[in-house]
Amino acid sequence: MEKYEIFKEHHDRKTLSVFFPPLYEEYFALWPPTPAVQGEGGGTAIADPNIRKVEEIVRDIELAE
């Protein structure tokens, strides 16, 4: 909620690509991603940390009203 006003400003200016990277850095510093995958023997292993790269893809798009 504390970042909502900043989000709205960036949304209106269509500059969300400026808003989200620092937000992601703050978020992932607090809650780092640790995806797990099921192994062959039924064990759990840490998945490839490249998942974060996919989650950070943000682009400015014009939303239809």
Is the pLDDT at 65 greater than 70? The verdict is: no
Residues 6+ apart with CB under 8 A from 23: 3
Note the pLDDT of residue 1.
83
- Render pLDDT for 23-41 as a digit per residue (tens, 0 to 9): 988 988 888 776 665 556 6
Is the pLDDT at 6 greater than 70? The verdict is: yes
Q: How far lies 1's CA from each of 6, 8, 23, 61, in Å? A: 10, 11, 13, 23
Q: Do the Cβ atoms of 41 and 54 come closer than 8 Å?
A: no
